[in-house]
Amino acid sequence: MAQIICRSLTLGYESTKVAKNISFSVQRGDYLCIIGENGSGKSTLVKALLGLNPPISGEIEFGDDLRKNEIGYLPQQTQAQRDFPASVEEIVLSGCVNRKGLRPFYSAKERAAADEAMKRLDVLSLKKRCYRELSGGQQQRVLLSRALCATDKLILLDEPVTGLDPKAAEEMYSLIKKLNESGTTVIMVSHDMSAALKYSSHILRMGMESVFFGTTSEYMNSPHYLNRGDLE
């Protein structure tokens, strides 16, 4: 069974529809890139998957031992978030909040999970550093560590290389791909078509008039890609 199945979603706010006829599925180990022009509903879909803004109609089903609160999320950063005065360790440990519950302290197991996530993203040596003193690329790796600390089943990334220089962006993409190859399912919202085509296994192209979902190779043979009219 798929980890996520979306059937005939209509997305929006109250009576305002921003996307419709959204149907797709995500299997364990997939790397799905969500693309589309500004205003096509990508961010609204992200909120729907996280349970923050339910769809106007349609159904989102979770399966294959994935619960709806088991999605590791890396949002777009604001300037205020970049200046957050906390240590790297504190940021990553906050990914364990859901499993900690009402306990006032993190357990040894949770601290070990945070260390393992930082090790995988090559920021363990920075654990005592102040987050706001880090470079943009380092901050994104810390936030990705936080998402992994929440769960390594599925991570949802919203424009994960925004504001990064080309070298840091490529390093970030490589780390995400390694996580995917190790078994973590990836859903990534991106405006970077070259990265979407290079790394993804599947493409969801959103638009009010037409929606495409399929493998990356199927997308590259579709009119959406061949005509280049939807995103360029």
Please give the structure tokens belonging to residue 97: 């909040």
Given 127, 150, 173, which residue is the final one in a domain?
150
Q: What pLDDT sits at residue 175?
A: 94
> What CATH number has the domain bearing residue 2?
3.40.50.300
Res 46: pLDDT: 94
142 and 102 inside one domain? yes
For residue 168, the SS3 value is helix
pLDDT in the model for residue 231: 55
Are 216 and 108 part of one and the same domain?
A: no
What's the first-to-final CA gap in the chain, in angstroms? Answer: 35
Q: According to the model, what pLDDT value does residue 16 have?
A: 85
Does 145 lie in the same domain as 160? no
Clarify whether residues 56 and 80 are in a common domain: no
Q: How far apart (Å, rounded) are the C-alpha atoms in residues 51 and 69?
A: 8
- Tell me how far apart the alpha carbons of residues 167 and 44 are, in angstroms, rounded to a whole number: 30
pLDDT of amino acid 207: 80
> 168 and 61 in one domain?
yes
Do 56 and 168 share a domain, yes or no?
A: yes
Helix (H, G, I), strand (E, B) or coil at 184: coil
Which of 150, 183, 199 marks a domain boundary? 150
What's residue 228's pLDDT? 56
**Full domain range(s) for residue 113:** 76-150
* 115 and 140 inside one domain: yes
Question: In total, how many domains does the chain have?
Answer: 2
Question: Domain end: 121, 150, 179, which one?
Answer: 150
The pLDDT value given to residue 13: 85
Check: CB of residue 203 under 8 Å from CB of residue 213: yes
142/172 same-domain check: no
Q: What is the mean pLDDT, run by run of 10 residues, along the chain of 232 residues?
A: 94 86 96 92 93 93 90 80 84 80 76 93 95 92 93 93 92 95 96 93 88 95 74 53
